Amino acid sequence: MNVIKTKIPEVLILEPKVFGDERGFFMESWNQEVFSQAVGREVNFVQDNHSRSTKGVLRGMHYQIQQPQGKLVRCVVGEVFDVAVDLRKSSSTFGMWAGCHLSAENKRQFWVPEGFAHGFLVLSESADFLYKASEYYAPQHERCVRWDDSEIEIEWPLQGLPLLSPKDAAAPPFASAPVFENL
């Protein structure tokens, strides 16, 4: 596996070794030992999720203020632009974002550690998005921050306005969003 560092040291892009020929391909999509070495610690995943979205849908920027989730994400059909925003107040990268294109073609995975908001924009006609979570979903602790916050300045590859859920459309700005004090 090729590990690609982003401008935020804890956020990683993981590229699997893909073996392909005219019949198709084979790749190892998950290996606990290899992943633990890549992130520098053991992470136990407790939940897998699968979403399907249409072109122009933007989901995010979501996080859980208690029971924070680390997420290992990938796109198995279509293409998305995936983003992580550091919400750890004591971090030197607090308020910074890192992003990458994930697609069925490039087979990349994106590691979004605990303490980060996460979101993605669908670039293809539709996209199937999978993620492993290190903590169970806890709706009572779910929070979000505005996808277009002027302090964070995420460079979304948008054509027009995205399609948002009511919750995401009403998300607070970064300046008033709850953040992680002790991560």
Contact call for residues 36 and 70 (beta carbons, < 8 A): no
Delineate the domains of the chain, giving CATH numbers in brackets.
2-176 (2.60.120.10)
How many CB atoms neighbour CB 50 within 10 A? 9
Alpha-carbon torsion angle 132, 134, 137, 143, nearest 10: -100
Contacting residues for 46 by C-beta, under 8 A, at least 6 apart: 133, 134, 135, 136
> 176 pLDDT exceeds 90?
yes
Overall pTM > 0.75: yes
* Phi, psi values for residue 61, rounded to 5°: -100, 110
Residue from 101, 131, 136, 141 carrying the catalytic annotation: 131
Name the strands in the sheet holding 109-112, side by side, starting at the edge strand that comes first in the sequence.
Answer: 2-5, 12-15, 109-112, 71-77, 126-133, 47-54
> 182 pLDDT exceeds 90?
no
Q: What is the mean pLDDT of residues 38-66?
A: 97
| pLDDT value, residue 107 | 97
| pLDDT value, residue 183 | 82
Q: What is the mean pLDDT of residues 13-24?
A: 94
Residue from 62, 63, 101, 136 carrying the catalytic annotation: 62
Strands (DSSP E) found in 55-135: 58-64, 71-77, 79-86, 97-103, 109-112, 116-122, 126-133
Of all residues in the chain, what percent are helix, strand and coil, respectively (each to 5)? 10, 45, 45
Q: How far is CA 70 from CA 8, 12, 27, 46, in A?
A: 15, 12, 23, 10
The structure tokens 């980060």 sit at 116
> In this predicted model, what pLDDT tens digit does every residue of 102-142 receive, in sequence order?
999 999 999 999 999 999 999 999 999 999 999 999 999 99
Q: How far is CA 137 from CA 59, 65, 71, in A?
A: 16, 11, 11
Contacting residues for 164 by C-beta, under 8 A, at least 6 apart: 58, 147
The structure tokens 């982003």 sit at 6
Active site residue 136: no
Active site residue 131: yes
> In this predicted model, what pLDDT tens digit does every residue of 88-109 receive, in sequence order?
999 999 999 999 999 999 999 9
